[in-house]
């Protein structure tokens, strides 16, 4: 509840920007209908769980709008509206005043969607699991999973953790991107970071909104014990590929000030993985590992897609049919529809491996680091990922990502080391924050006052 889920905007909706006309074009009407139906069912499933388990998470119904301010995009919005109607989604075409402090050229409205506090919902789910006799182990990092040697292991699956092994009938790798390289999901998804600011606001709009145009601006209201809050999200980019992440917050703060006349009180960012062909991967990690399940590639719409994954995987484990299994099939290899992303992912990895290594050879010495900055620099003749704190002390770690050895980049806004290849992230001490890496970056001990240190 403290990773991507805790940092999402908490929109529960089947409206995922302008996606359905593209989905029909790419995958055909049947798969697009399965995706749409699964999202609507997930929305209702969450509402039901909240009521049944009496989870106090500020859940309330709200409409979701995708809008354009550009009259030239009206035809595109109308196309999206027609696609959503044909797929049975609760959409309407609207224009002008949609509850924002500005008028829009056109919008698609999805009725009766929902908003909630995602972390409080997840904590409620955790309590429900424990009430039902389940046990939750925190601070227990899984390092490996072996599936398929039942005779030797005495179980379908064995999970190796830092503190011992766990034997199970089935395992779900709900780790955003799988921590195992089997299935090559790291090559079939792209890691993205996005940003949110929140501000005290006397009169935020009632519903939730997302712009059709770039840069994406996603808006929703929230209420806490002290009053109303406005949340504005956007500014997405590939992990490790933006050297000025602080600017992303600045752009959101400016948007909130100009459009709503508010100043940001809070800011945070989150990570998500986009699938190569536009549909998440949900199911067994490979055809040969039937007891190890994955769910990834939610493309920032994890509230409903995560719930869809739970429903499909639960059905699989219990041997039940699922009408959505085929549309989300995790083992599909669809080169035709995935070629753009898989190609650019591969190219970006190659560029990072070669380009960043060359850059690290020419990097300046540790002395070049100003307080409050981090970079890959040279020390003792080797590249190191170093951060100089405001008091002058330095944290230095190996710049080689422990997943597949790409060179990490410094993320100035979050003060983390982010891998541009497949999205692993590490804190200043090298501890893993996000996978697929499961091992920390090695600590480098710099020798004080050693001229060779530079």
Comparing CB distances to ligand FES, the nearer of 194 and 352 is 352
Nearer to ligand FES, 383 or 423 (CB): 423
Q: How far is the CB of 184 from ligand FES (least distance, A)?
A: 11
Nearest distance from C-beta of residue 186 to ligand FES, angstroms: 6
Contact call for residues 384 and 397 (beta carbons, < 8 A): yes
Instruction: Label residue 18 left, alpha or beta by phi (over 0 means left) and psi (-120 to 50 means alpha).
Output: beta
193 interacts with ligand FES by CB under 6 A: no
Q: Which of 348, 398, 424, 438 binds ligand FES (CB under 6 A)?
A: 424
Residue 422 binds to ligand FES (criterion: CB under 6 A)? yes
C-alpha 38/C-alpha 177 separation (Å) is: 21
342 lines the binding site for ligand FES (CB under 6 A): no
Q: Number of residues in contact with ligand FES, rule: CB under 6 A? A: 12
Q: Exactly one of 55, 230, 308, 406 binds ligand FES (CB under 6 A); which one? A: 406
Among 49, 142, 172, 404, indicate the residue that binds ligand FES (CB under 6 A). 404
Q: Give the footprint of ligand FES on residues 294-313 (CB under 6 A).
A: none
59 contributes a contact to ligand FES by CB under 6 A: no
Nearest partner of 15 among 393, 305, 273, 401, judged by Cα: 305
Is residue 179 within the footprint of ligand FES (CB under 6 A)? no
Reduced to 3 states (helix: H, G, I; strand: E, B; else coil), residue 308 is helix
Distances 321 to 105, 299, 395 between C-alpha atoms, Å: 44, 25, 52
CB of 209 to ligand FES, least distance (A): 33
Q: What single string gives the DSSP state of each residue in 153-201?
A: HSSSEEEEETTEEEEES-EEE-SSS-SS-TT-HHHHEEEEEEEEEEEE-
Dihedral sign for Cα 444, 450, 453, 454, please: positive
Q: Which is nearer to ligand FES, 178 or 234 (CB)?
A: 178
Rule CB under 6 A: say whether 436 interacts with ligand FES: yes
Q: Which of 42, 50, 256, 419 binds ligand FES (CB under 6 A)?
A: 419
Residue with tokens 């959503």, as numbered in its chain: 84
Nearer to ligand FES, 302 or 399 (CB): 399
Indicate whether 201 belongs to the interface with ligand FES (CB under 6 A).
Answer: no
Q: Does 55 bind ligand FES (CB under 6 A)?
A: no
Given the rule CB under 6 A, which of 47-55, 208-216, 251-259, 396-404 is the region that contacts ligand FES? 396-404
Q: Is 399 helix (H, G, I), strand (E, B) or coil?
A: coil
> Which residue lies nearer to ligand FES by CB, 113 or 424?
424
Instruction: Write out the E strands in 40-170.
Output: 60-68, 91-96, 104-115, 142-147, 157-161, 164-168
Phi (first) and psi of residue 27, to 5 degrees: -120, -5
Question: Segment contacting ligand FES (CB under 6 A): 122-130, 141-149, 319-327, 417-425?
Answer: 417-425
Name the strand (E) or helix (H) holding 305: helix 302-317
| Minimum distance of ligand FES from residue 137's CB (angstroms) | 25
Q: What angle do CA 319, 158, 298 make, to 5 degrees?
A: 60
The H or E element that residue 386 is part of is strand 382-388
156-160 own/partner pairs: CB under 8 Å, 24+ apart: 156/291, 157/291, 157/292
Residue 297: CB minimum distance to ligand FES, A: 16
Among 210, 401, 428, 432, binds ligand FES (CB under 6 A): 401
**Member of 437, 438, 441, 444 binding ligand FES (CB under 6 A):** 437
Q: Which residues pair with 65 in a beta bridge?
A: 109, 209
Residue ranges binding ligand FES (CB under 6 A): 186, 401, 403-404, 406, 419, 421-424, 436-437
């Amino acid at each position: 509840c403290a990773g991507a889920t805790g940092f999402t905007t908490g929109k529960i909706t089947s409206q995922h920007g302008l996606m359905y006309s593209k989905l029909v074009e790419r995958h055909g009407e049947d798969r697009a209908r399965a995706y749409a139906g699964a999202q609507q069912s997930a929305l209702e499933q969450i509402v039901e769980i909240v009521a049944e388990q009496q989870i106090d998470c500020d859940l309330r119904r709200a409409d979701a709008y995708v809008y354009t301010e550009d009259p030239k995009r009206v035809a595109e919005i109308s196309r999206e509206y027609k696609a959503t109607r044909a797929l049975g989604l609760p959409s309407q075409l609207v224009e002008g005043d949609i509850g924002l402090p500005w008028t829009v050229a056109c919008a698609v409205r999805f009725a009766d969607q929902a908003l909630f506090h995602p972390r409080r919902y997840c904590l409620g789910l955790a309590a429900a699991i424990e009430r039902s006799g389940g046990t939750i182990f925190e601070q227990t990092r899984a390092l490996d999973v072996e599936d398929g040697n039942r005779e030797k292991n005495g179980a379908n699956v064995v999970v190796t953790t830092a503190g011992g092994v766990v034997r199970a009938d089935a395992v779900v790798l709900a780790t955003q991107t799988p921590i195992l390289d089997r299935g090559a999901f790291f090559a079939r998804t792209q890691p993205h970071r996005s940003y949110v600011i929140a501000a005290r606001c006397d009169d935020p709009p009632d519903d939730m909104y997302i712009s059709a145009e770039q840069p994406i601006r996603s808006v929703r209201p929230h209420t806490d014990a002290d009053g109303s809050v406005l949340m504005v999200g956007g500014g997405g980019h590939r992990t490790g590929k933006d050297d000025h992440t602080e600017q992303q917050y600045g752009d959101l703060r400016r948007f909130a000030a100009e459009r709503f006349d508010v100043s940001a009180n809070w800011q945070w960012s989150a990570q998500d993985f986009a699938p190569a062909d536009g549909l998440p991967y949900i199911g067994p990690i490979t055809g040969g590992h039937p007891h190890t399940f994955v769910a990834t590639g939610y493309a920032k719409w994890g509230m409903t897609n995560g719930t869809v994954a739970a429903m499909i995987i639960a059905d699989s484990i219990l041997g039940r049919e699922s009408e959505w299994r085929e549309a989300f099939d995790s083992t599909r290899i669809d080169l035709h529809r995935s070629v753009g992303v898989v190609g650019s992912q591969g190219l970006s990895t190659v560029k990072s491996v070669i380009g960043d290594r060359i850059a690290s050879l020419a990097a300046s010495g540790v002395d070049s680091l100003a307080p409050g900055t981090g970079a890959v620099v040279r020390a003792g003749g080797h590249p190191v990922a170093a951060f100089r704190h405001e008091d002058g002390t330095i944290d230095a770690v190996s710049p080689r990502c422990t997943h597949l050895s790409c060179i990490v980049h410094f993320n100035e806004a979050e003060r983390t080391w982010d891998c541009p290849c497949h999205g692993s992230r590490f804190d200043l001490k090298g501890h893993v924050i996000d996978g697929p890496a499961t091992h920390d970056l090695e600590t480098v001990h710099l020798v004080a006052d050693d001229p060779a240190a530079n």
